[in-house]
Amino acid sequence: MDIARVDQIIDKYEAEPSSLIQVLLEIQAENNWLPAEALERISEKLQVPLARIQHIATFYKAFSLVPKGRHRIHICMGTACHVRGATRILDTVQELTGIQPGETDLELKFSLETVNCLGCCALGPVMEIDGETHGKMTTAGIEDVLKSYE
């Protein structure tokens, strides 16, 4: 990430230490992760110890210290989805993308995660990509859904 852009984001919040989480969220939104050089610059400009920033960045699941894909895939593994074939959906997504839950592909296109519930049990099995719900998924339909995120 461009350090000048980090400075712009920090300046937008008037370099207030109390704006740390907002600054982190904005950088995360632009990059899909929090690069080490950005954290160091935040520490310097907000005068917040780097250890505190790293603690916050590792505590909240919204933040990532490793690169993430442009598209985030979430496969629901909750009870309703599980009994309707969520495991087969997950297996097919893994086969098509070449990644396991918690991983990102080398092109930084997709990151894959499993979740316990997406709150739409009647649509199971459910796959969510970038917040868009794809319900009543079948293994045959996954490839077309993934292609729509090219």
User: Cβ(136)–Cβ(96) under 8 Å?
Assistant: no
Is residue 82 scored above 90 in pLDDT? Answer: yes
- Which pLDDT score is estimated for 36? 95
Q: Measure Cα distances from 17 to 26, 40, 41, 133 in Å.
A: 15, 14, 13, 36
The pLDDT score that the predictor gives to residue 150 is 79
pLDDT in tens, 64-75: 999 999 999 999
| 114-129 average pLDDT score | 95
The angle at the Cα of 72, spanning 17 to 4, to the nearest 5 degrees, equals: 35
In the predicted model, what is the mean pLDDT of residues 8-27?
A: 94
Three-class SS state of 46 = helix
Is the peptide bond preceding residue 49 cis, with omega within 30 degrees of 0? no
- CATH class of the domain at 71-147: alpha beta
Residue span(s) of the chain under CATH 3.40.30.10 come to 71-147
Dihedral angle computed from the Cα positions of residues 30, 35, 93 and 128, in that order, rounded to the nearest 10 degrees: -40
62: pLDDT strictly greater than 90: no
> Which pTM does this prediction carry?
0.78
Beta-strand ranges (E) seen in the chain are: 71-76, 110-115, 127-129, 132-134
Q: Which of 22-26, 47-51, 146-150 has the lowest mean pLDDT?
A: 146-150
Q: How confident is the model at residue 1 (pLDDT cuts 50, 70, 90)?
A: confident
